Amino acid sequence: MGKPFEKTTQVINEFAKPALEFLRALDDEDMKLQAKSLEGTVERLEDLTEAASNPEKRVALFEWGLTPQLFYAFDCLPLAMETFPYLFSATQKQVVHEFLEAAESSGLPSDVCSTDRFLVGAALSGEFPKNAFFVSCAGPCDGTRIAYPIMQKALGVPTLFLELPFTYERESARWYGRQIRTELIPFLEEVTGKKFDLERFREIIEESNRAYELMLDVYDTYTTTPMPVPSSLRGSPWMVFISDAGHPRATKSIQMFHAEVMRRLKEGIPNPIEEKHRVIWGHVQPYFDPLLLPWMEQELKVSVITSMLTGSPILRPIDTSSEETMFEGYAWQGLDMTMSLMRFDSRKILEYTMKLYNQYRCDSVIFTQHVGCNSICGAGGIMRRYFQKEGIPALFLELDYVDDRIVSAENLKNQIEEFFSTI
């Protein structure tokens, strides 16, 4: 049984920090940008791992369906659980395998989503601290609904499950916002021993709004050809936002990214890609191979503009004029900026993908079907028929985006290369 955040600390010290040094030292603008983006992440993770051994602090383990701001309002250290495997999938494959094994040995079948198996395995291996609490919405998928009760048992920390509305209009954001107010706030008050401070929450939301507006701007620039940043970096502001929104560090990081992007548009893009194809990536890319997207750019001249799930900030900043609008806006971010998007029915997923496809002037789709994701695999039929009918070149790739042993990077490259040779 490991110590809390033992493996996480290992990643920070053995990979993230040396990587930072290395990237900074390179004479390449993109690498330098990557380094600067990484800085905020390293700082955040260090804060988190330190908090594990501090009984005064509380670590907020939360799932998609929520964004960090409310946890900051209660002075907690938030960890967006579903981003957790990605810390390891590229550089610590043995940890990935270890955690997956642990989950399977305890009785969870191998056809359950590897993200959930990873998290259960991590919990069983003692990776999460005792001064944590755990909040999740009841969804958006089967994997989470079974992993999280199992995690609850494995963690032995206070846990709350929120009902998730499988509807998409404003009313569902209002409804979910009410759930947050009537269920989550009292829960947080109890586990932290602090009273909810509306003004503090407003401050933090306003901070996150600053970050959000900058992020909107950045995503706007992705409609240009060529993209101002390489494919592998374009999701960075979004990743920072959903992990850290509300913290000045997140705003600073996104501001830095924004400034760099604007500078490049004015002064010239350092490593412009000849974009033979612009791709919308449906669902999630394989995080175990960080070189896949750069390879696509260099070898195939194919640029992945964005992915459906990290798609783009699609909402407006949160309206802080009243408590009600604030909770509505916050709820909406949780619903539509995170993987809770998977509550969209197949037609709506298609609609959304096509909206991005057109907005970012793409000419092809790579639709990945994560093995173990009953949801995205089941949506494939409707997507395939539509793309065929409209003559939109679409590659359907099966893979596991956490576990490199299922479909190898080599195999993926082969299929991608074959596909683009037919367009």
Partner 1 sequence: MEHLKYFETMAQSLTNAEALVWKNSGGRIIGLLCSSIPEEIIHAAGLLPMRVRTPGLQNTKNADAHLHRINCSYTRSVLEALLTGQLDFLDGFVAANTCDHHFRLVSEIEDKSTLKFFHYFRMHHTLSTGGREWLLQEMKKLAEHIEEVFSTSISEDQLRETIAVYNHTRRLMNRLNELRKKDPPLLTGSEYMNIALTGMSIPREIFNQKLEALLPELEKRDLPKHHLPRLLIIGGACDSPDFIEFIESRGATVVADGLCFGLRHYMGLIDEKAEDPLEAIADRYLTRLPCPAMIDGLELSHEILKTLIDGSKVQGIVYARLKFCDHFAGGRKLLADRLRQEHSVPVIELEREYNTTKSGQLSTRLQAFLELL
Partner 2 sequence: MIYAGCDLGTISAKAVIIRNGNILAVETLPYKNLPKQAAIQVMEMAKNKAGLTKENISYCLSTGFGKKAVPFADKDLPEFLCLSRAIHKLDPEIRTVIDAGGSTIKAFNMDSSGKVTTSATNEKCAAGTGKFMEVMAQALEMPIEELSIAALESGHALPITSQCGVFAESEVITHVNEGKDRLDIFAGISLSVAGKVAAVTRRISLDQPIAIVGGLAKNPIVVRDIEKELGISFVECNLDPRAIAAYGAALLAEERHAS
322 binds partner 1 (CB under 8 A): no
202 binds partner 1 (CB under 8 A): no
| Residue nearer to partner 2 on the CB measure, 180 or 383 | 383
330 binds partner 1 (CB under 8 A): no
List residues near partner 2 by CB under 8 A.
369, 371, 384, 388, 396, 398-399, 406-407, 411, 414-415, 417-419, 421-422
| Residue nearer to partner 1 on the CB measure, 136 or 364 | 136
Residue 399 C-beta: closest distance to partner 2, Å? 7
Handedness of CA 163, 317, 360, 291 (dihedral sign): negative
Residues in region 28-47 near partner 1 by CB under 8 A: none
Number of Cα atoms under 13 Å in the Cβ half of residue 279: 30
Residue 89 C-beta: closest distance to partner 1, Å? 21
Burial class (CB in 10 A: 0-12, 13-18, 19+), 225: middle
| Residue nearer to partner 2 on the CB measure, 100 or 331 | 100
Residue 362 C-beta: closest distance to partner 1, Å? 23
Q: Of the candidates 233, 337, 368, 348, which has an alpha carbon nearest to the alpha carbon of residue 290?
A: 233
* Token output for 246: 């509300």
Residue 362 C-beta: closest distance to partner 2, Å? 18
Q: How far apart are CA 101 and CA 107, in angstroms?
A: 10
351 binds partner 1 (CB under 8 A): no
Q: How far apart are CA 173 and CA 331, in angstroms?
A: 6
Assess contact for 359 and 223: CB atoms under 8 A.
yes
Task: With contacts defined by CB under 8 A, name the span among 7-15, 137-145, 220-228, 310-318 that binds partner 1.
Answer: 137-145
106 binds partner 1 (CB under 8 A): yes
* Token output for 150: 């199992």
* Token output for 341: 């998007």
346 binds partner 1 (CB under 8 A): yes
Q: How far apart are CA 205 and CA 100, in angstroms?
A: 36
What stretch of H or E contains 157?
none
* Token output for 114: 């590897």
* DSSP-assigned beta bridge partners for residue 297: none
Among 142, 213, 217, 363, contact with partner 1 (rule: CB under 8 A): 142
Residue 406 C-beta: closest distance to partner 1, Å? 13
Q: Of the candidates 333, 96, 169, which has an alpha carbon nearest to the alpha carbon of residue 238?
A: 333
379 binds partner 1 (CB under 8 A): yes
Q: CA-CA distances (angstroms) from residue 252 to 37, 238, 245, 334? A: 10, 13, 11, 21
Q: How far apart are CA 273 and CA 234, in angstroms?
A: 14
Assess contact for 264 and 228: CB atoms under 8 A.
yes
Among 21, 27, 182, 266, contact with partner 1 (rule: CB under 8 A): 182
**Contact string 154-173 vs partner 1 (x = CB under 8 A):** -------xxxxxxx------
| Residue nearer to partner 1 on the CB measure, 12 or 349 | 349
**From the list partner 2, partner 1, none, partner contacted by residue 150 (C-beta under 5 to 8 A by kind):** partner 1
Residue 113 C-beta: closest distance to partner 1, Å? 8
H helix runs in 52-92, sequence order: 69-73, 86-89
Q: How many residues bind partner 1 (CB under 8 A)?
A: 47
* Contacting residues toward partner 1, per CB under 8 A: 106-109, 111-113, 136, 138-139, 141-143, 145-150, 153, 161-167, 175, 179, 182-183, 343, 345-347, 369, 371-375, 377-382
